[in-house]
Amino acid sequence: MANNKRPETMERITTPALARVFIDEQITALREQIGDRKVLLALSGGVDSSVVAALLIKAVGKQLVCVHVNHGLLRQGEPEQVVEVFRNQMDANLIYVDAVDRFLDKLAGVSDPETKRKIIGKEFIDVFAEEAKKLEGIDFLAQGTIYPDILESDGVKAHHNVGGLPEDLQFELVEPVKFLYKDEVRVVGKELGLPDNMVYRQPFPGPGLGVRCVGAITRDRLEALRASDAILREEFAKNGLEGKVWQYFTVVPDFKSTGIDHGKRTFDWPVIIRAVNSVDATAATIEEIPYPLLHHITWRITHEVPGVNRVLYDLTPKPTGTIEWE
Ligand code: XMP
């Protein structure tokens, strides 16, 4: 039975110096555990799996095999950044799997939120297991489990909606950050040289944009969602709200409304902006975005994103609204 309790003597990692000590200790421990064998890691590009990847690259280099599954529900620029940072800059062994069509075909016509989540979770496991089966001589599976995952859900990253691998693909686990809290993972990530937008990124749900493209996902609405989210993030970064607001994103519902453009009637989708502050996601308050900025974002979204003619701002705290729309 794995030891799943953070040692009481373990100091909280709050400074670069403490992060360096942690990194050195982990490199030694990982080399001892892994020896000359191979480790597999599902690398989403989120902070936890990215920090695990960077630690393992330092410890065992090419004995680590990272698999990045692009399920088509990532934010603009994310799959490209994973390839750029890990393959090009860190020289990692990275398998990039373009599974966009596969996921979107499975999700076509499915409107129930929980069914969508299940499809995304199952498909992810299937794609990852298929890649794992193609590889020879893997002995370990690395995971970005962090301490809150252990405290909240018996050590499984349950909120990622990813169940376990099939019976014939059971590996010994490698979980170098399992005793760290999120803020500590970020300090370690920064010290490992990961880019700030990877280290300080806002929470992003496992099913990704899938739960923000309300109802049955269509490719054109998904693109409107991705483009409007990119504009919101760009404007928040430019206006000092990145890092200040806990979570912010856009939502595209599955209904249209009438509008007018160059004297012609349009019938297009609205985009809903959500920007909330929270400590642990159980409750949330609304960020008071300055009106001039809201006007500017509205102008950009309605002029730059095809198929969108209206922007709404969701003023609902949690409760009564959940943070995500589905
Ligand atoms: P809600 O919408 O329940 O969200 O207020 C609370 C936090 O959890 C995230 N979230 C998810 N994360 N898989 C995840 O990994 C999910 O299915 C999921 N649903 C919501 C949400 O983004 C927020 O941070």
Nearest atom in ligand 1 to 247's CA: 24
Is residue 220 in a domain? yes
**Whether residue 245 sits in one domain with residue 127:** no
User: What pLDDT is attached to residue 181?
Assistant: 97
296 assigned to some structural domain? yes
Looking at 153, 174, 199, which one is the last position of a domain?
199
- What is the per-residue pLDDT for 235? 98
Beta strand spans in the chain (E): 38-42, 64-70, 93-98, 138-142, 172-174, 247-251, 257-261, 264-277, 285-286, 308-313
CA of 26 to the centre of ligand 1 (A): 30
Q: Does residue 7 form part of some domain?
A: no
Ligand 1 mean position to 267 CA, how many Å?
31
Same domain, yes or no, for 159 and 239? Answer: no
pLDDT for position 166: 84
* 50 and 132 part of one domain: yes
Distance 205 CA to ligand 1 centre (A): 5
Measured in Å, residue 324 CA sits from the centre of ligand 1 at: 6
The confidence score (pLDDT) of residue 158 equals: 46
**Helices then strands (H, E): number in the chain?**
10, 10
Residue 299's region, left for phi above 0, alpha for psi from -120 to 50, else beta, is alpha
Residue 115: the pLDDT is 98
Query: Does a structural domain hold residue 287?
Result: yes
CA of 33 to the centre of ligand 1 (A): 34
- Same domain as 195, residue 56: yes
CB contact set of 91 (below 8 Å; sequence gap of 6+):
57
233 & 188 share domain: no
Tell me which residue has its CA closest to atom 12 in ligand 1: 205
Residue nearest to atom 18 of ligand 1 (CA): 205
Q: Which residues line ligand 1 (CB under 6 A)?
A: 117, 159-161, 203, 205-207, 211, 247, 281, 318, 322-324
Q: Which residue stretches of the chain have pLDDT < 70? A: 1, 154-163
Q: What ligand 1 atom has the least distance to the C-alpha of 318?
A: 5
Based on the fold, state whether residues 159 and 246 are members of the same structural domain: no
Q: Which numbered atom of ligand 1 lies nearest the CA of 160?
A: 15
CATH number at residue 65: 3.40.50.620
pLDDT tens-digit series, residues 232-270: 999 999 999 999 999 999 999 999 999 999 999 999 999
In a domain, 5, yes or no: no
Report CA(272)–ligand 1 centroid distance (Å).
17
Nearest CA among 32, 56, 31 for reference residue 43: 56
Which among 115, 117, 120, 159 is the best mutation to test ligand 1's pocket, defined by most ligand atoms within 8 Å of the CB? 159
Residue 181 included in any domain: yes
The alpha carbon of 21 and the centre of ligand 1 are apart by a number of angstroms equal to: 33
The total domain count for the chain is 2
Same domain, 166 and 251: no
Which of 165, 199, 233 is where one domain is finished? 199
- Domain assignment of residue 228, given as a range: 212-313
Answer yes or no: do 76 and 220 share one domain. no
Let me know if residue 69 belongs to a domain. Answer: yes
Sign of the torsion formed by the C-alpha atoms of 216, 159, 85 and 172? negative
Same domain, yes or no: 188 and 80:
yes
Whether 28 and 167 map to the same domain: the answer is yes
Pocket test for ligand 1, best of 48, 324, 326 (most atoms within 8 A of CB): 324
Q: Please indicate, yes or no, if residue 252 is contained in any of the structural domains.
A: yes
The residue from 164, 199, 234 where one domain ends is 199
CATH number of the domain enclosing 273: 3.30.300.10
Residue 132 shares a structural domain with residue 220: no
> Are 77 and 171 within one domain?
yes
